[in-house]
Amino acid sequence: MNFRLSEEHEMLRKMVREFAENEVAPTAAERDEEERFDRGIFNKMAELGLTGIPWPEEYGGIGSDYLAYVIAVEELSRVCASTGVTLSAHISLASWPIYKFGNEEQKQKYLRALATGEKLGAYALSEPGAGSDVASMKTRAVKDGDHYILNGSKVWITNGGEAEIYVVFAVTDPEKRHKGISAFIVEKGTPGFSFGKKEKKLGIRSSPTTELIFEDCRIPKENLLGQEGEGFKIAMMTLDGGRNGIAAQAVGIAQGALDAAVDYAKQRVQFGKPIIEQQGVAFKLADMATAIEAARLLTYQAAWLESNGLPYGKASAMAKLFAGDTAMKVTVEAVQIFGGNGYTKDYPVERFMRDAKITQIYEGTQEIQRLVISRMLTRN
Ligand code: CAA
Ligand code: FAD
């Protein structure tokens, strides 16, 4: 067993860290305040090859692996969790199902555009009445000759409005419940496809979260992804890997908060010495660092399993569960270490704390991760 990252992975981390610190961090607070998505940052990620990290070169990717991908999401989230999730949703949720279930034509047309970053992707599963309970979705797709006609709405869609390519799940046979759901690729600009409310959020405020509306939206039958009735399986398998992207986001947020807290504790003097010399503060930092390391190991392990063709669903859910809770705990403690300053927007830790909360909610709440993990335990 070898716990050292390869030279390739170390080089990628260095490159993404430099990019994150120089090009993403300087505007992170301002974009958060203004709830502003910056396409220019995504375009620069594309230039660096980050938008297609795990995909083969024949589809416009850089032919690396899922470990490299989670390292990139971690490093981006260390300075800006919104930028981290932009990439995570783009790769894990929009590109992955096309890579895995798309036919050659769909891969050349859509995966290539996503991998090169020419287009931004999104994944539309959740509905007003179907969040945790995916199988209760109502959006309908009815076959009509060479087309499917979509009606319904999706909510909470990350990259919504900004993305050009959407993987959308809809019911093709209501009698069959989860076996009657299918997946479709829908392009922005398709008549009958529009955007509703843009959410005003606690955290990840520069990541757009939008409602999608389908009103007699005609999609060519060529845009069916996989087979009719295969949509629920595609959605679940996509989330198996996606959850590890969120674990990486959580590790990054926690690391960003820890780094800031250590720096602050070294220079803030009370009772005649830096507060890091108070055991109460130093032990807090030690616990934070230990939890982050454990979360990182779970995350890298899940990525390694996926990269090596081994089962990774349980490992990924465990990583998301543990890393999400770690990010929440660590960021709360980081604010505490900053004292009153931590409660202001003069320092980044309040943003990290607001951003951390979402990692316990999306891609399946922490309760749903426990459901997924416990069901797998009973199966083995
Ligand atoms: N891989 C393959 N097949 C799977 C599977 C998986 N991971 N999980 C379930 N299935 C199959 C089951 O084997 C079963 O198949 P059969 O009918 O052939 O036996 C079928 O799917 C139904 O499975 P369940 O009975 O487990 O289904 P369920 O209705 O009880 O739901 C659930 C399971 C895990 C709770 C699921 O509804 C779920 O994941 N909910 C959470 C939703 C979620 O995570 N949403 C995230 C949206 S994206 C997002 O949030 C984006 C972002 O962060 C940026
Ligand atoms: P509910 O399902 O209503 O859950 C409410 C509470 O009940 C939770 O605490 C939950 O854990 C608990 N609960 C529900 N069922 C059970 C159970 N069986 N056992 C125990 N507890 C349970 N979705 C997409 O499709 N694409 C996206 O890109 C996307 N991005 C998102 C971005 C943001 C910022 C947010 C907030 C959400 C996003 N989502 C996205 C949706 C997200 O995945 C859902 O919010 C999440 O799955 C929970 O669904 P819900 O909000 O309907 O909560």
Q: Are residues 130 and 104 in the same domain?
A: no
The residues near 258 (Cβ < 8 Å, ≥ 6 apart) are 285, 288, 289, 292, 330, 334
Ligand 1 atom at minimal distance to the Cα of residue 239 = 44
Percent of the chain whose predicted confidence (pLDDT) is above 90: 99
Count structural domains, the chain. 3
CATH of the domain at 213: 2.40.110.10
Return the best residue to mutate from 153, 357, 361 for the ligand 2 pocket (most ligand atoms within 8 A of CB). 361
ipTM higher than 0.95? yes
Q: Which residue puts its alpha carbon closest to atom 12 of ligand 2?
A: 367
Q: Which residue puts its alpha carbon closest to atom 8 of ligand 2?
A: 365
Q: What is the mean pLDDT of residues 165-178?
A: 97
CATH of the domain at 310: 1.20.140.10
- Rounded to the nearest angstrom, the distance between the alpha carbon of 316 and the centre of ligand 2 is 17
**pLDDT at 128 (0 to 100):** 97
Q: pLDDT category, 2, cuts 50, 70, 90? A: confident
Q: Which residue puts its alpha carbon closest to atom 2 of ligand 2?
A: 132
**pLDDT at 97 (0 to 100):** 98
Q: Are residues 133 and 202 in the same domain?
A: yes
Q: Which residue puts its alpha carbon closest to atom 40 of ligand 1?
A: 132
Asked about 363 being catalytic, the answer comes back as yes
Q: What is the mean pLDDT of residues 121-130?
A: 98
Q: Are residues 222 and 136 in the same domain?
A: yes
Q: Are residues 212 and 267 in the same domain?
A: no
Q: Are residues 80 and 143 in the same domain?
A: no
Q: Which residue puts its alpha carbon closest to atom 33 of ligand 2?
A: 156
Q: What is the mean pLDDT of residues 345-370?
A: 98
Statement: residue 52 has pLDDT above 80: yes
Q: What is the mean pLDDT of residues 50-67?
A: 98
From 88, 119, 150, the end of a domain falls on 119
The predicted-structure confidence for 59-84, as pLDDT tens digits, reads as follows: 999 999 999 999 999 999 999 999 99
Q: Are residues 95 and 136 in the same domain?
A: no
Residue 37, token pair as written in the block = 């998505």
Distance CA 232, CA 226 (A): 11
**pLDDT at 1 (0 to 100):** 80
Pocket flag, ligand 1, residue 371 (CB < 6 Å): yes
Return the best residue to mutate from 82, 126, 211, 246 for the ligand 2 pocket (most ligand atoms within 8 A of CB). 126
User: 155 is in which domain, residue-wise?
Assistant: 120-228
From 72, 89, 119, the end of a domain falls on 119
Q: What is the mean pLDDT of residues 284-292?
A: 98
Q: How far is CA 147 from the centre of its chain?
A: 31
Pocket flag, ligand 2, residue 362 (CB < 6 Å): yes
Is 249 within 8 Å of 324 (Cβ atoms)? Answer: no
CATH of the domain at 107: 1.10.540.10
- Rounded to the nearest angstrom, the distance between the alpha carbon of 361 and the centre of ligand 2 is 6
Statement: residue 135 has pLDDT above 90: yes
Q: Are residues 300 and 348 in the same domain?
A: yes
Among candidate residues 187, 277, 363, 367, the one labeled active-site is 363
Strand partners of residue 122: 166
Percent of the chain whose predicted confidence (pLDDT) is above 70: 100
Q: Are residues 218 and 234 in the same domain?
A: no
Distance CA 147, CA 142 (A): 8
Q: What is the mean pLDDT of residues 338-351?
A: 98
Of the listed ligands, the closest to the CA of 123 is: 2
Statement: residue 208 has pLDDT above 80: yes
Pocket flag, ligand 1, residue 363 (CB < 6 Å): yes
**pLDDT at 187 (0 to 100):** 98
Pocket flag, ligand 2, residue 131 (CB < 6 Å): yes
Q: What is the mean pLDDT of residues 330-344?
A: 98
Phi, psi of 55 (to 5 degrees): -90, 145
Residue 197 in 3-state DSSP? strand
Q: What is the mean pLDDT of residues 281-299?
A: 98
Q: Which residue puts its alpha carbon closest to atom 19 of ligand 2?
A: 367
The per-residue pLDDT of the chain, averaged, comes to 98
Q: What is the mean pLDDT of residues 22-26?
A: 98
Q: Are residues 348 and 245 in the same domain?
A: yes
Is 64 within 8 Å of 8 (Cβ atoms)? Answer: yes
Q: Are residues 99 and 59 in the same domain?
A: yes
**pLDDT at 379 (0 to 100):** 82
Pocket flag, ligand 2, residue 227 (CB < 6 Å): no
- Rounded to the nearest angstrom, the distance between the alpha carbon of 220 and the centre of ligand 2 is 30
Statement: residue 380 has pLDDT above 80: no
From 119, 144, 167, the end of a domain falls on 119
Q: Are residues 223 and 187 in the same domain?
A: yes
Q: Are residues 181 and 263 in the same domain?
A: no
